[in-house]
Amino acid sequence: MRKFTFLAPLLLCFNAFAQQEVNSLRKNQINPIFNGLNKNFVPYEVLLDFAMEFTNVEAYNGTLTDSTFVNTRVLGNIYKTLFMEKVTPNTQHFPLIETIAEDWVTKKTCV
């Protein structure tokens, strides 16, 4: 029951982001900058300079510091930043936020 009370608000929070209207102004401004880039050579189809950053993703490089503590808000910001870094609209291999949230809860309870 405790897992459910933690997971339910987390999933509802992430689902709330999906209800917003799509604003393509940023995309229309940034696309001409990367127009000459061959996006087939971008590893994992994710380009850091392509995104509007919600958090400094480069700080989360595997080295634990006092400023890289991760809670659900930070995890959501990292996900949103990575999701915006996609250079193609293909989301086939991009994990769903619900899957990440479930893994997050599972891993936290296993420790």
Task: Provide the residue ranges of all domains of the chain, joining segments of one domain with +.
Answer: 2-110
Query: Average pLDDT for residues 24-45, to the nearest whole number?
Result: 80
CA distances from residue 82 to 51, 55, 66, 85, 110 in whole angstroms, order as listed: 8, 10, 22, 5, 26
67 DSSP 8-state letter: T
Query: Average pLDDT for residues 2-29, to the nearest whole number?
Result: 61
Query: Average pLDDT for residues 68-96, to the nearest whole number?
Result: 82
9 or 71, greater pLDDT: 71
| String of DSSP letters for 19-38 | TSPP--HHHHHHTTTTTTS-
* pLDDT number for residue 23: 65
Distance CA 9, CA 101 (A): 11
**Residue whose C-alpha is closest to residue 80's, from 109, 49, 57, 105:** 57
pTM: 0.63
pLDDT class for 10, splitting at 50, 70, 90?
low
